[in-house]
Amino acid sequence: MDSPLSNPRSHTSPSTCTGPGETALRTALGNDGYATLRRHCRLTDTALGPLAELLWTTAQEADRLHAELRYYARNTCDHLRHVPAHANQTEAVPLGFLQHTSRAIDVNATRYVQQMNQLNLAIEAYKLALLAA
Amino acid sequence: MTSIAEQAHAASTFIQQTAAASEYGPHRGLDHARTAVRLASTLGLSLQHITITPDSKRRTTPGEPLLAIATCSTTRTQYTFLARYPLYEDEPFELLGPCPVCAAPVPLAAVRHLADLGTHLATGPAPLSNGPTPATYPDTFDTDEGHAPTCRYGAA
Ligand SMILES: [Zn+2]
């Protein structure tokens, strides 16, 4: 019943390391271009503004999905490797949790791949707009 | 009185040590420790009054919900808070208490700071009618997995 994945949450990414979305932006635009993108996000009087904003949020969403995948990976490792001494039999093999998690990882991984494709399209559109500006 | 810097250092050390020593593993342990620090900060409590356990009843995406139990050092009253998405630290805690309909522990108030708890304790849960759920209840009340199977609220 719960499917926040289809209803993106507007959270700040909890991860402090650079995600693949931001890395893709820096690789495609260079560090100067990346700084310019941040500036363009604040433009409201040209078409470049909304496009830059779209590119930025697309990259952020990719990083958020990536952070969630990392979270699932770590959490699942702990579930499989560490069983608390006082755990009873049902807790020792948390099948329900692992089934829920594996479904969530499937959805999340699919969304992540889509998001990275979308990000590449948004980067191309932004680059074209830069040439035309 | 301990300085702010000393308290901050103690919180940071607590997180590292708790995560490393957790019987649930280092990553889940890290979530537990961060959640304890967040609740302690939210309520202005000492970390020794807070215990964290995984919530085996609720399933969330993303994550593994946690129950944080705060024990009052004066009255020994226990307050149970649900951290539904430990990965996202900007989410409020949900105070659990007996459902007015089925009496099972369910979210009765969203708590972002001490005053939210104060407001709830002063007013208690609003009476429920057959109409829409009163706005003082958190959005999660209606569909929470904690409701008894016979309750008219709970997961569909
Ligand atoms: Zn109920």
Domain presence at residue A10 = no
- Give A123→chain B minimum CA distance, Å: 28
Mutate to test the interface with B, among A10, A12, A75, A88 (most CBs of B within 10 A): A75
Q: Taking 60 as the threshold, does the pLDDT of residue A81 lie above it?
A: yes
In chain A, the number of structural domains is 1
In terms of residue numbers, what domain contains A43? 20-132
The confidence score (pLDDT) of residue A16 equals 57
Residues 6 or more apart from B44 whose CB is under 8 A from it? B114
Domain presence at residue A4 = no
Q: How many angstroms separate the alpha carbon of residue A11 from the centre of ligand 1? A: 29
Contact B59 A11 (CB under 8 A): no
ipTM score for this prediction: 0.80
Least CB-CB distance to A81: which of B25, B63, B89?
A: B25
Comparing alpha-carbon positions, the chain B residue that sits nearest to A81 is: B25
For residue A91, name the pLDDT band (cuts at 50, 70, 90): low
Torsion of CA A11, B71, B31, B88, to 10 degrees: 0
The confidence score (pLDDT) of residue A89 equals 58
Q: How many contacts, defined by CB atoms under 8 Å, are there between A and B?
A: 62
Residue B70: strand pairing partners: B50, B79
Give φ, ψ of B125 to 5 degrees. -70, 135
Q: What is the pLDDT of residues A3-24, one digit of tens each?
A: 343 334 444 444 457 899 999 9
Domain presence at residue A11 = no
Interior CA angle at B83 toward B82 and B85, to 5°? 140
- Give A79→chain B minimum CA distance, Å: 7
Domain presence at residue A67 = yes
The single-letter DSSP state of residue B154 is S
Domain presence at residue A6 = no
Residues 6 or more apart from A123 whose CB is under 8 A from it? A24, A25, A28, A29, A55
Q: Taking 90 as the threshold, does the pLDDT of residue A109 lie above it?
A: yes
Q: Which of B26-35, B43-52, B58-67, B139-148 has the lowest mean pLDDT?
A: B58-67
Give φ, ψ of B106 to 5 degrees. -140, 165
Domain presence at residue A2 = no
